[in-house]
Amino acid sequence: MIPSLFVSLKVLAADIPLLLFLGTSIGWILAKKNFRGKNLVYNLIILPIALPPSVVGLYLLMALGRIPYLKEANILFSFTAAVIAPLFPALPIMIQAAKSGFSAVDEKLEAAARTLGDSEFKVFRRVTFPLAKPYIIGGLALSSMRALGEFGVTLMIAGNIPGRTQTLPLFIYSSVESMSFFEANIAAILLTALGIASLLIVKRMGGKA
């Protein structure tokens, strides 16, 4: 179980900065900018939440295995694939949380900061982001746990290779297949505890929003 735990932690360490940066950036654009096709873009971004993981995994498998540049990069069944896989079901959660947070910021406060001569970056740093921060932290907690618990997409494009791409959810799957229920239960309890912790963070941040 320990090697799978380390793989999961390494995947999470790589995914958290990506979730924070991409989720916050895209959420801000969707909340604050108007452009043609915005609703279509939003629906496409959120779509992985509604699709079965096997479907998302199949699309990624075909893309990574057939698109020339991606195929040549040999991403499939590697640690890189294990990092990419959780982003597709987890990132929409982060984007939605960030979008809600930025939409909740009073535009009058931002306009007031601009009248004082603040640049758009300073307005974001001093006004917009601090007010949206509870939503962002809550979204990061939930999306991180979704990434940590990812199973289907990871299995499809990264495989179940012990010590390389086998995360805790895949370890549970393998343990049950081999009738090693004690080890499976230990891993399940660990993931459950982390899930409860993430919900407590969301609840605490929700009280500050």
CA distance 51 to 58: 11
Model pLDDT for residues 130-148, shown as the tens digit of each residue? 999 999 998 998 899 999 9
CA distance 162 to 173: 12
**What is the CATH number for 53?**
1.10.3720.10
Q: Residue 161: its pLDDT value, please? A: 93
Q: Residue 116: its pLDDT value, please? A: 85
Q: What is the largest CA-CA distance in the chain?
A: 66
Q: pTM for the whole thing?
A: 0.88
Which DSSP symbol is given to 51?
S
**pLDDT band of 197, cuts 50, 70, 90:** confident
CA distance 178 to 194: 25
Quickly list DSSP for 33-68: ---TTHHHHHHHHHHHHHS-HHHHHHHHHHHHHHSH
Side chain identity, residue 81: A
Q: Residue 209: its pLDDT value, please? A: 53
Q: Residue 206: its pLDDT value, please? A: 58
Q: Please state the domain count of the chain.
A: 1
> Could you list the residue range(s) of the whole structural domain that residue 199 is in?
1-206
The CA-atom distances, in angstroms, between 1 and each of 63, 78, 115, 168, 201 are 31, 19, 57, 7, 26
